[in-house]
Amino acid sequence: MAALVTSIDKETIKLDLNHELAGKALTFDVELMKLVPSERMARATFGAGCFWGPELAFMRVPGVLSTEVGYTNGETENPSYEEVCSGTTGHAEVVQVVYDPEEVSYERLLEEFWARHNPTQLNRQGNDVGTQYRSGIFTHTPAQLEAAMKSKAAQQGKSKEPVVTVVEELANYTSAEPYHQQYLAKGGRGGRPQDPRKGCTDPIRCYG
């Protein structure tokens, strides 16, 4: 039985799975394979168009501990999805990644970011058009800011078109609604769950 862990606290593990046992109260014996101290964890935030596809891509990267989609660097507090999509709040759709720097580097996450979208498209990705879909690296530390600027310069050196990715310090971040979280792993629009396991190389269907 495969299950997606959606959240963990000291007493509860929440699972999301389409199974005949879904919704029932169960007791599990769990073997803890690895525990990463919170002080060792780091966060990274990326905007690469519609956040569903990039989130699944980052979920598959070894060393990534958890992901969350949300909205950032806009002008209003706690916007809804509908408000962000209206283009009036100034927010970008983003994936926020919690990772173990001893297992995966920030530079490796930047590589995944560049690989998962077209950074030469201004305020759009494919058919998704609007400032909320802008390409962006939203940094948490001065070291991330320096690495992001260096990475963008390297990316520009490979591109014939201008790289329009914004590099900014993270500000005014808010989590997206629960139904957006791990959307493609849960089935997406088509009700067909996509594999979030580490190292998976299956093509990502952006909307499910």
Maximum Cα–Cα distance across the chain: 56
Residue 46 CA, distance from chain mean position = 7
In order of 41, 62, 132, the CA distances from 99 in angstroms are 6, 9, 24
50 an active-site residue?
Answer: yes
Residue 112 C-beta-side C-alpha neighbours within 13 Å? 26
From the candidates 50, 85, 200, 206, give the one annotated as an active-site residue. 50
Let me know if 20 is exposed, middle or buried by CB neighbors in 10 A (0-12, 13-18, 19+).
exposed
Instruction: Give the residue ranges of DSSP H helices in 20-160.
Output: 52-59, 81-85, 106-115, 142-158
Using CA atoms, how far apart are residues 164 and 93, in angstroms rounded to an integer?
16
> Strand, coil or helix: what is 136?
strand
Q: Would you say 5 and 13 are in contact if contact means Cβ atoms under 8 Å apart?
A: yes
Q: Supply the residues annotated as catalytic.
A: 50
